[in-house]
Amino acid sequence: MANKVVQETFSGHAQPKMSTLVRLCAAAWLVPGLGHLLLGRKWRGLILFATIVVMFLMGIAMQGEFFSTSSGSYLQTLGYFGELGVGVAMPAASFFGYAGGAPLFICADYGTAYLVAAGMLNVLAILDVYDIAMGRKP
């Protein structure tokens, strides 16, 4: 699919259109692994999807905390954007009633770490999609 939507530059290298890059990166952010799937990397997309979703679900099972931007703390804000990197899963969990963890639960800190790590892994997957689409990575 990526080969159909490229345009030639003056140097002769295939360069994807900006709209294609934006769509691929947005798809990779919303659903982990979808960007790789659209590029034809089925196994890599499936592995990333399974890994990120399992990490996110384990974070919820351990009652990890959802950070917010209203606390005024820079670390809380960074944690919020780290968790938001997982895409549509965080707003979906909030929509279905998950309000965050119980601070006195013994595994809550580990759950929070899993939630942030899942988001950061998805950010790395988005950068990987970008590099593959640009032709920087085989």
Look at residue 1 and tell me if it is in a domain: no
Render pLDDT for 4-43 as a digit per residue (tens, 0 to 9). Answer: 444 433 334 567 899 999 999 999 999 999 999 999 999 9
Look at residue 28 and tell me if it is in a domain: yes
- Number of domains comprising the chain: 1
Residue 94 pLDDT > 50:
yes
Q: Is 36 exposed, middle or buried (0-12, 13-18, 19+ CB in 10 A)?
A: buried
Look at residue 106 and tell me if it is in a domain: yes
Range of the domain at 48: 6-134
Q: Is 28 exposed, middle or buried (0-12, 13-18, 19+ CB in 10 A)?
A: buried
- The pTM of the full predicted model, rounded to 2 decimals, is 0.84
Render pLDDT for 49-72 as a digit per residue (tens, 0 to 9). Answer: 999 999 999 999 999 998 888 878
Look at residue 42 and tell me if it is in a domain: yes
Render pLDDT for 100-113 as a digit per residue (tens, 0 to 9). Answer: 777 788 889 999 99
In the chain, alpha helices (H): 18-30, 34-38, 42-61, 74-84, 89-95, 108-134
pLDDT score for 13: 55
